[in-house]
Amino acid sequence: MNMTTKIKEILVSTLKGRFKKLHDAANFAEDCSNALAFHSEELMQFELTTEQVNAICKLNDSIGA
């Protein structure tokens, strides 16, 4: 083994912390997406211009609603 090579060890606690942060971020993103879908459906109940309807439809398409 080359003496200049450094071996890095990642602690299990570090991995758990990183996973939790990623998991929390994914959950937050999903919650935001669900809120956008809910509010876009609520907006569709109003009298909207064609441009507004198109914008809401484009939003729904982009979030997969």
pLDDT at 54: 95
- Amino acid present at 54: N
In terms of phi and psi (left: phi > 0; alpha: psi -120 to 50; beta: otherwise), the region of 29 is alpha
How far is 29 from 8, CA to CA, in rounded Å? 32
pLDDT at 3: 59
Report pLDDT digits (tens) over 1-55: 555 666 678 888 999 999 999 999 999 999 999 999 999 999 999 999 999 999 9
pTM given for the model: 0.68
